[in-house]
Amino acid sequence: MKTLPLILCCILINSLLPTQSAVQNHQNPPPPTSSIIFTTLGRSSYAFDLFTLPTRHRTPPSPSSELRLTDGASVNFNGHFASPSPALLSLSPQPSPIQQPFSTPAAAEETEPEFHLVYVSERNGSCNIYYDAIAFDSQPQESSSRSRSAMEIAPRVQLPLIHGHDGLSLKDRPTVVGDKLVYVSTHEKSAEPRTSWAAVYSTDLKTGSTRRLTPIGIADFSPAVSPSGFLTAVASYGENGWNGEVEELSTDIYVFLTRDGSERVKIVEHGGWPSWVDDSTLFFHRKSEEDGWISVYKAILPNSGPISTDSVTVTRITPPGIHAFTPATSPGNTDFIAVATRRPTSSYRHIELFDLVNNEFTELTRFVSPQTHHLNPFLSPDSGRVGYHRCRGQSNSGDPHLLLESLHSPRPDVSLFRIDGSYPVFSPAGDRIAYVEMPGVYVVNRDGSNRRRVFPGMAFTTEWDPVRPGIVYTAAGPTFAPVSSEVDIISINVDHADVDNNVKKLTTNGINNAFPSLSPDGKWIVFRSGLSGQKNLYIMDAEKGEAGDGGLRKLTEGPWTDTMCKWSPDGEWIAFSSDRHDPGSGSFAIYLIHPNGTGLRKLIQSGAGGRCNHPYFSPDSKSIVFTTDYAGISAEPISNPHHYQPYGDIFTIKLDGSELTRWTQNSYEDGTPAWGQMYMEPSDVKWPNYGPGCSFEDCYFLDEIPTSGGRDRNLKTSGRPRC
């Protein structure tokens, strides 16, 4: 296990993929059958690149002080400035562009710096760790008011660092120390439902051999390697596992030997995002239990004797009144750290330095891009530069905005796409997609052309009529609303010339009627309604609605929530999501029932308290695709933009309960999947005339201004939908 040759390591990684790779048969690849489409909240607007600013400024930094380090392609994030070790330099196909290491602090503004940047990039639908060696001419340009790009000057080397990589798993938080790349990966399935697959691995850059450092059965996040490379610290729940929390995590900090993961010991109760200054000092973040502000703390390990939570000294570093988090340190730097902050005076996340001697913040990015979120700082080994990621903004080399992003699929006969919209659904012929973009329902050709708004109001869920051409159903009204909210099922004739008269109202009671789904003969609609004071399932005539013969037929009834119903294409089953096993608990499982009300059974539940939602049948009616927290959480939510539930992944399962398969592995919320009966070639689809965008919201819990006492918080966010 210790020194697997590269080829063996690839085989090992492939053999660890979930069951579906066993199904692949290289002699007879199955013919393409169908495509799955899903939504990731905000993700199509993450035009992230890595940027850097000098840490030492005589005057506040200006836009011309900022350098863009990555190439403007795809989504680049979670960087690390490596010391140029021989193993790293030997990877370059050309000699290192510049021989001198990081420029000395005094000369930082005058000489050419070079960067050895290790980072995460999502390219061609999968996430890998890249290494860029970049030289940059830092002569300030006269009267330049824009940030400059390291792409403006050669030479540059860009390499993926992990080979034999499965194309599906999340790779995150890389650090290179000496010969070793240490990072998070989700390529090994966890044994238990609702537990994370995130674990820390190290890959030897010279041999390519990989070893797992996290014990089996445990998930670790946010690894940090000490300057000597000897120790690694992580945020982890240990053996307790994730309890479903979605904001600041109550993880603990553990330390182990980077060599082999041994001598693992908990050093701090409650903390995340560790960062070492030297082999016995690290900084981390934690929400203060006294005042509720997320703050940076320092932990000092004892010089001698056993290391435990009792022998480690913890001191708070940043004061209440400001959220300061994701600390970054540099070796031996006892003068300052870098942090991301959310000040009560700003709606944006900014990078600041915190002076450890005078206990003062120095703002940096607010002077450069005041209205942009900046995430996850990292310092150069000589402390002269701070890096971070933010949206690249309008830029010539930026990637086009995508309607559909093709992702690696675990099944060769089914392609997988992320759409820039929510509640997508393919038309029966597969040539069009209906989706929701608040506020409104849209229809677009699957090549991105002819995008039209077909309904202007608030709406959620879409369904395409299987029989009558051009009819789309939706629920008009607010989403995530209480049981009594006014939401009704409507049908929309999307090809009707008069977009103001294309709508037919099918329910009129207004009592939270949603998730319409049609029987394959087009005669009936199943939907959920709050009619009886709780959300249960009903069936009505698809054309006449509530007013049709028989009115509303109750399909399910009980003091719980049945919702997100979907009729199978063969007409045999209705799949839905329900908390009937534990009403009101927030735990949803997927159930099946025959349209005549018989045969009710639970298909899948995620652990005892988890969620399985938004079922959608495969075209052959033998499987469903759904979103779930079955694979737990993959990263600290605070390190990402806002996701209501920073944990959803797309899974499929057969109706007999077999072949549970994970389709997405990332730290975002993937949801509302739909399975279309036509196969789309797995390549990206650009928006033709729909410019690059970058707007996303920061974690809502960072908007909170804690009141003293911490617990009784004053929510600026109240009224916003929370999960």
Residues of this chain that bind ligand NAG (CB under 6 A): 124, 572, 594, 596, 598
Cβ at position 126, least distance to ligand NAG in Å: 9
Cβ at position 574, least distance to ligand NAG in Å: 11
Q: Beta strand 294-300 with 231-236: parallel, antiparallel or unpaired?
A: unpaired
Q: Is 7 left (phi over 0), alpha (psi -120 to 50) or beta?
A: alpha
316: Cβ contacts below 8 Å, ≥ 6 apart:
288, 295, 296, 297
Cβ at position 409, least distance to ligand NAG in Å: 15
Q: Distance between CA atoms of 545 and 553, rounded to whole angstroms? A: 11
Nearer Cβ to ligand NAG (318/568): 568
Nearer Cβ to ligand NAG (121/222): 121
Contact predicate 634/78, CB 8 Å: no
Nearer Cβ to ligand NAG (302/400): 400
Nearer Cβ to ligand NAG (247/399): 399
Contact predicate 45/132, CB 8 Å: no
Nearer Cβ to ligand NAG (145/596): 596
Cβ at position 575, least distance to ligand NAG in Å: 14
SS (H, E, C) 409-438: CCCCCEEEEEECCEEEEECCCCCEEEEECC
Token pair 């006014």 in the structure block, residue? 486
Q: How far, in whole angstroms, is CA 710 from its chain's centroid?
A: 28
Nearer Cβ to ligand NAG (223/682): 682
Q: Distance between CA atoms of 642 and 399, rounded to whole angstroms? A: 22
φ and ψ at 574, to 5 degrees? -120, 120
Q: Distance between CA atoms of 192 and 300, rounded to whole angstroms? A: 35
Q: Beta strand 553-554 with 524-529: parallel, antiparallel or unpaired?
A: unpaired
Cβ at position 179, least distance to ligand NAG in Å: 24
Nearer Cβ to ligand NAG (166/220): 166
Nearer Cβ to ligand NAG (457/597): 597
Nearer Cβ to ligand NAG (49/405): 405
Residue 652: which H helix or E strand, with range?
strand 649-654
Cβ at position 654, least distance to ligand NAG in Å: 18
Tokens of 234: 């992580």
Nearer Cβ to ligand NAG (572/703): 572
Nearer Cβ to ligand NAG (158/281): 158
Cβ at position 504, least distance to ligand NAG in Å: 29
Cβ at position 124, least distance to ligand NAG in Å: 4
Strands (E), 438-519: 441-445, 452-455, 459-464, 471-476, 488-493, 503-505, 514-518
For residue 228, CA distances in Å to 3, 100, 161 come to: 21, 21, 21
The DSSP secondary-structure symbol of 44 reads G
Cβ at position 295, least distance to ligand NAG in Å: 41
Amino acid found at 166:
D
Tokens of 280: 């016995």
Cβ at position 682, least distance to ligand NAG in Å: 10
Q: Distance between CA atoms of 416 and 38, rounded to whole angstroms? A: 8
Cβ at position 237, least distance to ligand NAG in Å: 35
Q: How many C-beta atoms lie closer than 10 Å to residue 337's C-beta?
A: 27
Work out the end-to-end distance of the chain between its first and last CA atoms, rounded to an integer number of angstroms: 42
Contact predicate 539/489, CB 8 Å: no
